[in-house]
């Protein structure tokens, strides 16, 4: 039987497109981005302090580094900074054509690299997109081509499986991964989504997948065999991603958006763009880190 949970607002952030939440255990902060204005946010759950800084460009996602800093997929390139956004500088020479595509979701992998994919500004009829891997030395490898809209991604603790959402496909796919190198193999469908679009995702400590379903006002939990066992209901249709945080990794934080909302949309969904949380009774895992 599928259980249903509710989530409460923890940050009235009013983000246009909040995405990419990640728990920074070293600093006790939940971090996320507001993609289009290029803001990088942080919440201290203990004090309630909410801060943000400007990245200077739209920012698809941000990850944590092994030396305590941040790694970014900016609109068209990769970059790094310290943990407060100071000394933000490009890493490597690789760029994408920012007139047609931008970077979207991404995360550090278990091997110390950073994976991030692109999406077309013109979501329908735009050019095909890609998934890339950034190595700590700045080298970039193309992992997948022909992607519709690159979105959520995560790896199992044993490094043998990789979950990936190409939003335009309407499903989450599962790859085999070489536990030593991360090389991908054997792509297959994991779950197909109806009533919305697969967006950001994360795995919990039990190996279950939490998937944001854009357009539905829901976050779904799937067991490793693809069974839907939990639905979190939110008062905002544009649910974008989720991450576990807090000292015990027992709080599930959920990001939402208000992209292209009209005044009527905002009146109907005044909490859209806020950050929500619930305690689902399972814990998450610490995020993987970028760097050697």
User: At residue 125, does pLDDT exceed 90?
Assistant: no
pLDDT on residue 100: 97
* Mean pLDDT score across all residues of the chain: 97
For 3-278, the fitting CATH number among 2.120.10.30, 3.30.200.20, 3.40.220.10, 1.10.3720.10 is 2.120.10.30
pLDDT at 124 over 90: no
Q: What is the pLDDT of residue 1?
A: 85
- The answer to whether the CB of 129 falls within 8 A of the CB of 118 is yes
With beta carbons less than 8 A apart as the criterion, state whether 191 and 222 touch. yes
Q: pLDDT, tens digit, for every residue of 4-60?
A: 999 999 999 999 999 999 999 999 999 999 999 999 999 999 999 999 999 999 999
- Please give the average per-residue pLDDT across 80-96, as a whole number: 97
User: Averaged over 149-164, what is the pLDDT?
Assistant: 98
- Report the Cα–Cα distance between both ends of the chain, in Å, rounded: 44
The residue to which tokens 């290029």 are assigned: 38
Strands 39-43, 129-134: parallel, antiparallel or unpaired by DSSP? unpaired
Q: How confident is the model at residue 127 (pLDDT cuts 50, 70, 90)?
A: very high
Domain boundaries, the chain: 3-278
pTM above 0.75?
Answer: yes
Decide if 38 contacts 56 (C-beta within 8 A): yes
What pLDDT does 123 receive?
85
Considering the candidates 34, 199, 225, 248, report the single residue annotated as catalytic: 199
Whether residue 137 lies in the annotated active site: no
Distance CA 57, CA 75 (A): 6
* 101 pLDDT above the threshold of 90: yes
């Amino acid at each position: 039987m599928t259980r249903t949970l509710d989530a409460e607002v923890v940050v009235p952030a009013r983000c246009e497109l909040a995405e990419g939440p990640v728990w920074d255990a070293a600093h006790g902060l939940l971090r996320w981005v507001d993609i289009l204005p290029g803001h990088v946010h942080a919440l201290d759950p203990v004090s309630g302090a909410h801060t943000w800084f400007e990245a200077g460009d739209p920012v698809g996602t941000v990850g944590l580094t092994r030396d305590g800093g941040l790694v970014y997929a900016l609109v068209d390139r990769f970059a790094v900074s310290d943990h407060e956004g100071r000394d933000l500088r490009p890493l490597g020479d690789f760029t994408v054509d920012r007139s047609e595509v931008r970077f979207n979701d991404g995360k550090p992998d278990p091997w110390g690299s950073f994976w991030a994919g692109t999406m077309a500004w013109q979501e329908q009829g735009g050019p095909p997109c890609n998934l890339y891997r950034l190595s700590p030395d700045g080298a970039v490898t193309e992992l997948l081509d022909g992607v519709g809209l690159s979105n959520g991604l995560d790896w199992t603790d044993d490094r043998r499986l990789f979950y990936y959402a190409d939003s335009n496909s309407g499903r989450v796919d599962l790859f085999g991964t070489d536990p030593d190198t991360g090389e991908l193999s054997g792509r297959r469908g994991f779950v197909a989504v109806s009533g919305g679009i697969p967006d950001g995702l994360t795995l919990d400590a039990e190996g279950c997948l939490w998937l944001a379903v854009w357009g539905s006002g829901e976050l779904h939990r799937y067991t490793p065999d693809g069974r839907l066992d939990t639905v979190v209901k939110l008062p905002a249709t544009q649910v974008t991603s989720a991450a576990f945080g807090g000292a015990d990794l027992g709080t599930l934080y959920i990001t939402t958006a208000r992209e292209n909302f009209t005044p009527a949309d905002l009146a109907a969904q005044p909490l859209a763009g806020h950050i929500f949380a619930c305690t689902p009774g399972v814990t998450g895992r610490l995020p993987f880190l970028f760097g050697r």
